[in-house]
């Protein structure tokens, strides 16, 4: 089999290599627990409504925004409809936030500077460069992969307009602490929070700027790709102040035109079966924790990798103790026929992270297959 991994392979490249050779991949994160049946049933009902086949309102379907307000308040997050913008997945919110930062800097005759905190989600790197025309400012993490807020403060002092913050973090699985978020919010820059994993947390409740720290410069982006396994539905939402939502909409609208009719189906589901939604989240998190328990033990035993216990997301990391991230990735692929993700792709160019990332959102059957391969 052709199992040679290109030097600059991405997580999707490794995933495609594995699938083309009939091998399991833990490189690319795709939740394999299907959406609740009750949610899927609403999709047909939503499609029978005449109005959903035309352009949706530019702020998003009113039913969906109202359903999100109700859902968030049930979770203890106090927002109103004017604080919610429906987006094309989390990406729509992140890109709209970057456009605000870019346009503000452009109005002053300069190029925007946006930071990424290592380790960062790889697509954020591309989004920053495409929108601003400049490479991101990379903020190194501490040796334990936790964020170095001191280093970010120094970058702000040197001239920084914004930052993208994953909470919980992909790839490390770490949650931000309240005192850390308070420090961030005092920096005076635009903060774009990618919180797609906000309901996939294991170490206590999710802590967010929505809890008393929301301002015109805080933009929180969430979605349903991961928590209900509806990746192809492309429904997300952004939370901010009413004033910032008013600015985000015209930034996003020319790019995406509108969010799909699947937002109406989600609204119907959340209205009719809020308890079913919560029950599904319990199932998702139980599956993730069970998979991590089994996979972390198997990888540690096979390769001597040291697990880094995640606090959230659907990922887990290991310190590999090898000479390079890609070398360990290739070794795992060749020796165990399992695809994993090298940590260096989540760092600045040419950096070595010292860790490997796996995703735990696979089915329990696929998890068992991977464990079997690792222990063979």
Through-space distance between the first and last CA atoms of the chain, rounded to whole angstroms: 19
CB 213 within 8 Å of CB 238: no
Beta-carbon neighbour count of residue 3 at 10 Å? 13
Taking the whole predicted model, whether its pTM rises above 0.85 is answered as yes
pLDDT for residue 224: 95
List, in order of start, the domains of the chain with CATH numbers. Answer: 11-35+277-375 (3.90.1150.10), 49-272 (3.40.640.10)
Long-range contacts: 149-153, Cβ < 8 Å, 24+?
A: 149/180, 149/183, 149/184, 152/115, 152/117, 152/184, 152/187, 153/183, 153/187
The DSSP result for 256-274, as a single string, is: HSS--THHHHHHHHHHH-H
Helix or strand run (H / E) with residue 342: strand 341-342
pLDDT in single tens digits along all 376 residues of the chain: 457 777 778 888 899 888 889 999 999 878 999 999 999 999 999 999 888 898 989 999 999 999 999 999 998 999 999 999 999 999 999 999 999 999 999 999 999 999 999 999 999 999 999 999 999 999 999 999 999 999 999 999 999 999 999 999 999 999 999 999 999 999 999 999 999 999 999 977 899 999 999 999 999 999 999 999 999 999 999 999 999 999 999 999 998 998 899 999 999 999 999 999 999 999 999 999 999 999 999 999 999 999 999 999 999 999 999 999 999 999 999 999 999 999 999 999 988 899 999 999 999 999 999 999 999 8
Sign of CA dihedral 68, 64, 231, 370: positive
Q: Note whether 183 and 149 are within 8 A (CB).
A: yes
């Amino acid at each position: 089999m052709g199992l040679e991994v290109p030097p600059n392979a991405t997580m999707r490249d490794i995933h495609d290599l594995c699938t083309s050779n009939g091998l399991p991949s833990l490189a690319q994160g795709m939740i394999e627990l299907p959406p609740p049946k009750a949610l899927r049933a609403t999709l047909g009902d939503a499609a029978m409504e005449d109005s959903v086949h035309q352009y949706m309102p530019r702020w998003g379907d009113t039913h969906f925004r109202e359903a999100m307000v109700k859902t968030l308040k049930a979770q203890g997050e106090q927002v109103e409809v004017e604080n919610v913008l429906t987006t094309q997945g989390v990406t729509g919110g992140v890109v709209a936030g970057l456009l605000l930062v870019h346009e503000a800097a452009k109005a002053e005759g300069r190029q925007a500077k946006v930071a990424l905190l290592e380790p960062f989600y790889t697509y954020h790197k591309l989004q920053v460069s495409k929108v601003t025309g400049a490479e991101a400012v990379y903020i190194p993490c501490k040796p334990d992969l936790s964020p170095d807020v001191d280093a970010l403060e120094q970058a702000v002092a040197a001239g920084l307009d914004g930052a993208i913050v994953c909470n919980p973090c992909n790839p490390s699985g770490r949650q931000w602490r309240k005192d850390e978020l308070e420090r961030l919010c005092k920096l005076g820059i635009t903060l774009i929070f990618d919180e797609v994993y906000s309901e996939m947390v294991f170490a206590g409740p999710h802590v967010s700027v929505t809890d008393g720290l929301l301002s015109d410069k805080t933009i929180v982006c969430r979605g349903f790709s991961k928590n209900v396994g509806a990746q192809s539905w492309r429904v997300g939402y952004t939370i901010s102040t009413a004033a910032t939502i008013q600015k985000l909409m015209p930034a996003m609208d020319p790019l995406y035109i509108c969010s799909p009719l699947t937002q109406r189906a989600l609204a119907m589901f959340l209205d009719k079966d809020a308890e079913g939604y919560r029950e599904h989240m319990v199932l998702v998190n139980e599956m993730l924790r069970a998979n991590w328990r089994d996979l972390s033990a198997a990888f540690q035993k096979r390769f001597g990798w040291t697990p880094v216990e995640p606090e959230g997301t659907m990922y887990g990391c290991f310190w590999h103790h090898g000479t390079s991230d890609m070398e360990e990735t290739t070794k795992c692929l060749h020796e165990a026929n399992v695809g994993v993700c090298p940590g260096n792709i989540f760092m600045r160019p040419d950096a070595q992270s010292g860790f490997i990332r796996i995703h735990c959102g696979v089915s329990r059957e696929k998890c068992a297959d991977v464990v079997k391969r690792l222990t063979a």
